[in-house]
Amino acid sequence: MMLKIFVASALSAGALAAGAALANELEDACVAQLEAEGRDTSGCGCLVDMVEGDAALEEEFTALAEIADADERYDAASDDAKAAMDACTR
């Protein structure tokens, strides 16, 4: 449930040039969040790949990042967001 609990951080839609920056920001935020929670960060790259380019998921992950409790963040996620997290859980 390591990555299932991480749901998000600083995402924004952008142009192609911003895509790489967005991916880096998401991965950095994922690593920081999971490290702060004492969790495995190995699935962060996978999560970036699953979310990148999907504006709806990017928006959702941004909103979910505002939820402080890890379990509440996961419970509040849509089926698509949970699927992305579940696919990347190590």
Residue spans per domain, the chain: 2-88
User: What are 6-55's pLDDT values in tens digits?
Assistant: 444 333 333 333 455 667 777 887 888 888 888 889 998 898 888 888 98
Mean pLDDT of 67-87: 90
pLDDT recorded at residue 20: 59
State pLDDT tens for residues 53-70: 898 988 887 787 778 788
Q: Are 81 and 4 in contact (CB under 8 A)?
A: no
DSSP for 19-79 reads: HHHHHHHHHHHHHHHHHHTT---TTHHHHHHHHTT-HHHHHHHHHHTT--SHHHHHHHS-H
Q: Can you give the pTM of this predicted structure?
A: 0.69
CA distance 41 to 30: 7
